[in-house]
């Protein structure tokens, strides 16, 4: 299926289907450089398929480091120098093939090289259904994730579900974290349906019917980012689970979406303590479900909440020195609130106790 953004200008298509990559030829630039920057692991797994679809001899392939490590400033410098030495022009185009990190990194190259050139996103993970939509690109600073970046829309997103076949379990759980978040943002019905279709790690790892939920996730996200591209208001809701999630991710290096899922759980405890939405029952239910799917909840036992809190203070949503968190106040209804250090400590200790029950 094909989605189309509905901005005032510079709209782009999002093509979601098995073998979507066969459509990429319509988006290559004739008589200009098209340079593929691809996660080295994706390249190893899918070399033959990729060569078939991008068979033009003029297309150059650069493999890049796999996963989040590519988003270091020193690596950004080295790849940008490499691309510039290939005499790219403002008409050149980058093609990012890989997961969320690859898209963020290549997108930031495209946003800043020669003050901005075109790029195409070819997401290869479940998680990237989230990060490939909305134009956020960026790299990491030593003090935190995605702290240096830009908004830069791709020319097209080509989401070929064929790539999902080789995803490891951790990657599936990671992507599922963001799908689950989009379901919560959408409705209770979507959330329940998701848990019914994937009751355990077995069904989830088979990814049956996943296109339905990728469609749900993409539609949910598109609606929000088109309403609020630069995150002045409602787009902040997409950070559900991310304030605590980014902290635990940064500290323990677990996968982004796994950390977001734990962040969603954490936020539920705060909801409950403020009598906003969740109850002990809904929290327990989610804990059991996440254990069934194999989320690394035990990581909280050894995590230093003081360090997590320090990290949370660097979140981009913050205003002044107070921490801002997305909380849920009703079905598909959210609010952004200041949360005190005491509240964070209490919720953390309570959550740890609940997990170990």
Q: Which residues are catalytic?
A: 115, 136, 178, 221, 231, 235, 239, 242, 246, 256
Backbone angles phi, psi at 66, to 5 degrees: -80, 135
Alpha-carbon 289 to chain mean position: 21
Instruction: Taking the CA atoms of 71, 73, 76 and 78 in sequence, report the sign of the dihedral they define.
Output: negative
10 binds a second copy (CB under 8 A): no
29 binds a second copy (CB under 8 A): no
Report, in Å, the least distance between residue 8 CB and a second copy: 11
Report, in Å, the least distance between residue 323 CB and a second copy: 11
Q: Which helix (H) or strand (E) holds 352?
A: helix 341-355
8 binds a second copy (CB under 8 A): no
Of 125, 290, 298, 260, nearest in space to 195 by CA: 290
355 binds a second copy (CB under 8 A): no
Span near a second copy by CB under 8 A; candidates 105-113, 175-183, 199-207, 248-256: 105-113
- Footprint of a second copy on 175-234 (CB under 8 A): 230
Backbone angles phi, psi at 200, to 5 degrees: -145, 175
Instruction: Taking the CA atoms of 165, 171, 173 and 178 in sequence, report the sign of the dihedral they define.
Output: negative
Find all residues with CB under 8 Å of 177, minimum gap 6, and list them: 127, 241, 256, 257, 258, 259, 260, 261, 264
Q: Among 314, 332, 336, 352, which residue interacts with a second copy (rule: CB under 8 A)?
A: 314
155 binds a second copy (CB under 8 A): no
Span near a second copy by CB under 8 A; candidates 49-57, 93-101, 140-148, 160-168: 140-148
Span near a second copy by CB under 8 A; candidates 41-49, 69-77, 252-260, 328-336: 69-77
CB 149 within 8 A of CB 108: yes
Residue 38, SS3 per DSSP: strand
Span near a second copy by CB under 8 A; candidates 147-155, 176-184, 212-220, 340-348: 147-155
Report, in Å, the least distance between residue 332 CB and a second copy: 26
> What is the four-CA torsion angle of 302, 308, 310, 311, rounded to 10 degrees?
130
Report the interface residues with a second copy, using CB under 8 A. 31-32, 73-74, 77, 80-81, 84-85, 87, 89-91, 111-116, 136, 138, 141-144, 146-151, 230, 313-314, 316-321
């Amino acid at each position: 299926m094909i989605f189309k953004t509905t901005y005032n200008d510079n709209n782009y298509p999002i093509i979601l289907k098995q073998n979507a990559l066969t459509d990429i030829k319509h988006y290559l630039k004739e008589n200009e450089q098209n340079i593929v920057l691809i996660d080295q692991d994706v390249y190893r797994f899918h070399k033959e398929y990729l060569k078939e679809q991008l068979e033009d001899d003029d297309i150059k392939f650069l493999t890049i480091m796999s996963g989040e490590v590519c988003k270091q400033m020193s690596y950004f410098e080295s790849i940008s120098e490499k691309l510039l030495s290939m005499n790219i022009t403002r008409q050149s185009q980058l093609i990012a093939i890989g997961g969320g990190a690859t898209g963020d990194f290549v997108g930031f190259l495209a946003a800043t090289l020669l003050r901005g050139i075109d790029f195409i996103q070819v997401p290869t993970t479940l998680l990237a259904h989230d990060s490939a939509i909305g134009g956020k690109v960026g790299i990491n600073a030593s003090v935190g994730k995605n702290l240096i970046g830009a908004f830069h829309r791709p020319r097209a997103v080509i989401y070929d579900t064929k790539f999902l076949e080789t995803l490891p379990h951790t990657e599936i759980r990671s992507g599922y974290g963001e799908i689950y978040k989009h379901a919560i943002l959408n409705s209770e019905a979507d959330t329940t349906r998701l848990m019914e279709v994937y009751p355990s790690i077995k069904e989830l790892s088979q990814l049956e019917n996943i296109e339905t939920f990728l469609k749900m996730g993409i539609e949910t996200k598109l609606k929000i980012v088109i309403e609020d591209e630069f995150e002045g208001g409602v787009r902040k809701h997409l950070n559900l689970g991310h304030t605590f999630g980014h902290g635990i991710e940064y500290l323990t290096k677990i996968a982004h979406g796994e950390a977001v899922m734990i962040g969603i759980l954490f936020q539920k405890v705060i909801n409950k303590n403020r009598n906003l939405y969740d109850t002990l029952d809904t929290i327990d239910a989610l804990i059991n479900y996440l254990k069934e799917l194999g989320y690394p909840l035990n990581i909280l036992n050894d995590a230093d909440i003081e360090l997590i809190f320090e990290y949370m203070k660097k979140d981009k949503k913050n205003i002044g020195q107070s921490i801002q968190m997305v909380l849920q106040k009703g079905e598909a209804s959210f609010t952004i609130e200041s949360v005190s250090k005491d509240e964070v400590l209490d919720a953390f200790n309570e959550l740890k106790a609940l997990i170990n029950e």
